[in-house]
Amino acid sequence: MKKIFFISCLLLVTLGVSAQKTAYVDTEYILKHIPDYKSSLTQIEGLSKQYQKEVDDVFKEVDAMYRTYQADQVLLTDDMRKRRENDIIEKEKKAKELQRQRFGPEGDLFQTRTKLLKPIQEKVSTTVAEVAKNKYIDFVFDKSSESTMMIYASANYDISNDVIIKLGFKPGTLVK
Which distant-in-sequence residues (6+ apart) come within 8 Å of 150 by Cβ? 139, 140, 141, 142
Taking only the tens of pLDDT, the chain with its 176 residues reads 555 544 554 445 454 555 688 888 888 888 888 889 999 999 999 999 999 999 999 999 999 999 999 999 889 999 999 999 999 999 999 999 999 999 999 999 999 999 999 999 998 888 888 888 888 888 888 887 666 677 777 777 666 676 667 777 687 776 56
Are the C-beta atoms of 142 and 31 separated by less than 8 Å? Answer: no
State residue 19's pLDDT score.
Answer: 64
State residue 30's pLDDT score.
Answer: 87
